[in-house]
Structure 1
């Protein structure tokens, strides 16, 4: 039984390290790689207890393979030199705008973001939060109209304008969409922000929607850019790692909080395994000074709050 478990975990680690992602449920299963890494300690412990040499060696190799992929997320990294404006960025998936408007406005007032990304943002939610003072706290906004999962918005303390090159919408009706905007900062500087909402990675046509919605996001380079929101992908998905490799850094990973899980929470058992699918990707020239997840009642996602320092 221990050998079977080691063999199964070896296959998991091998697929993860290879970057090959078969469509048959692997796109969902690979999200739970941190749990597989923890499970690999079980045969390792038994092999050591039983003094089973060959099994111990095999288990060590498998555990080591998982450690290479998972442990760096818990180790803080350094930052590039940056002495520019400090920006606090909040991003929240509202679960079809189920979050109470007063709770959202209170969170903005308490955490004082400079840029706010709202996903699954309906017109009714917009009316209610603006009645409660969101437009007073963050007076500039760009809203992408939509119902349920399609709508998105960016609110800002500083002037906003649409991005020079819009991001193509998925070719699947009813799918979520990304919202890019350019923030004009004091001193004439500009930075681009993208409220990210990718399709979910499931079987059939939605697998194609998921991968294409990640690949549609702009690569790093040129104008400073920050992508924040619901990527529906973890750091164990090759498609997300490929995007990061263009010149981004993941804020949770950089701050040693890469194992902070963000979904699913609402109406789920307490011990239901969670995954980290909400991210903030910042251009590698930007210093990441802080990252935390936020609990907002009545949504299945944890929000994110990140403090960035521009070069």
Structure 2
């Protein structure tokens, strides 16, 4: 007698392992969604300038790498056909790209018609940088203004012995033991206008008024070095250092007392180890006052300056910021033996005398 299949024609055979595959699919969806949410949160922090405190502030320094990660994650989400996470990742990548990509596109004034200054800044790592190499770089590049950070008296002695005083005979010396000192050196006469740093733990940020031959008014140079945002306890010092930086127009509080010669000009150059990238809202606030980054004028705003030889990906925390009326003829980043920072060099032209 023939057996009859009583399950009917529409019966479906159970698929071995089907439940396992469904669980795996759900796990992948959850994972991709969490990744998308993470990148979206990072993009929101950057886009709206919402970073507050540690560790968000140091994390924002790696925004260019986050853009690369968001693009890779979006590609993976597309291949996995997770449409909602894909849309979120594409939006996050777009926000980050708007912030990052312009730094790689040359834009700005290359020449302003006035005298030329060749500006160099370097964090000498508390004396670790090779003094002879620093002086050689000043000589070879024809540097006329040098801003140094983490300068000790011993560093200045070594630089002097290597011949710096012959090239840049004028100095505003705010050197100090350890990593707290800074200085400004120039081929032209300098006047010490004091220090922007406040507090016993602050790093020196000397202001110097420079008399430029053939120019009607002095130009102020600041050697910039706020505290690094390495721990929760350093955040106030980091933020305070950046907020102490004067705008380029000479009109804000703290720009100088009545009779200060800088009140007759508005030209300032901020050069140094800012311990901040252009992804930090605090540094963008400085730029919004009327400065431009010399690096971005030549599309080199993503060139890393720190750390050299470290385990972290390179970030751009050393800058030369100039009054927006100045021209930037060239920009260069150079490695110096013994320092964990690269030197930054900019050829700057002042606007025609006003």
The TM-score bracket by the shorter chain reads: over 0.9
SS at match of 2:316: coil
Contact 1:74 1:257 (8 Å CA) reproduced: yes
**How does 1:206-221 map onto structure 2 within 5 Å?**
206-221=234-249
Q: Which has the larger radius of gyration?
A: 2
- With structure 2 as the length reference, what TM-score do the two structures score? 0.83
1:15 paired with 2:48, answer no
Give the number of equivalent residue pairs: 305
| Cα distance, 1:56–1:174 mapped onto 2, change above 3 Å | closer
Q: Residue 253 of structure 1: which of 265, 290, 296 is its match?
A: 296
1:274-293 pair list within 5 angstroms = 274-293=314-333
Does 2:262 align with 1:235? no
What is the CA–CA distance in structure 2 between the aligned matches of 1:78 and 1:17, rounded to whole Å?
23
- Which of 34, 59, 62 is 2:92 aligned to? 62
Change in Cα spacing, 1:139 to 1:232, as seen in structure 2 (3 Å) is same
Question: Is 2:188 the partner of 1:158?
Answer: yes
Kindly indicate whether residue 209 of structure 2 is the aligned counterpart of residue 179 of structure 1. no
Over 3 Å counting, the alpha-carbon distance change for 1:107 and 1:81 in structure 2 is: closer
Flag as ranges the 4+ runs of structure 1 deviating above 6 A: none
Q: Deviations over 1:63-117 (max 9, x none)?
A: 1111111111111103176100111100110000111221221121111101011
The residue aligned with 2:349 is 309
Distance in 1 between residues matched to 2:83 and 2:154, nearest whole Å: 64
1:100 aligns with 2:130: yes
Local SS of the residue matching 1:285:
coil
CA distance in 2, matches of 1:225, 1:231: 16
Query: Which stretch of structure 1 is more off in the superposition, 98-107 or 30-39?
Result: 98-107
CA distance in 1, matches of 2:168, 2:120: 12
Whole-angstrom CA distance in 2 between matches of 1:209 and 1:41: 35
User: What are the within-5 Å matches in structure 2 for residues 3-152 of structure 1?
Assistant: 3-79=33-109, 82-152=112-182
TM-superposed deviation, 1:188: 4.0
Distance 1:40 1:204 in 2: 28
**1:132 offset after TM fit, Å?**
2.1
Q: Deviations over 1:149-199 (max 9, x none)?
A: 122111111111123xx344222x243110110111112432111011111
Q: 8 Å contact 1:97–1:120 — kept in the other structure?
A: yes
Change (3 A) 1:81 1:95: closer
Q: Deviations over 1:114-171 (max 9, x none)?
A: 10111111111211221221111111111113112122111111111123xx344222
In the alignment, the residues of structure 2 paired with residue 5 and residue 170 of structure 1 have an alpha-carbon distance, to the nearest angstrom, of 41
Name 1:202's counterpart in structure 2. 230
TM-score with structure 1 setting the length: 0.94
Q: Is the 8 A contact 1:121 1:149 kept in 2?
A: yes
Contact 1:167 1:217 (C-alpha < 8 Å) held by counterparts: no
- Corresponding residue SS for 1:3: helix
Q: In structure 2, do the counterparts of structure 1 residues 131 and 60 end up closer, same or farther at CA, with 3 Å as the change threshold? A: same
Instruction: Structure 1: give runs of 5+ residues left out of the alignment.
Output: none
For 1:187, what is the secondary structure of its paired residue? coil
Contact 2:247 2:289 (8 Å CA) reproduced: yes
| 5+ long unaligned stretches in structure 2 | 1-30, 251-265
Measured on the aligned residues, the alpha-carbon RMSD in Å equals 1.5
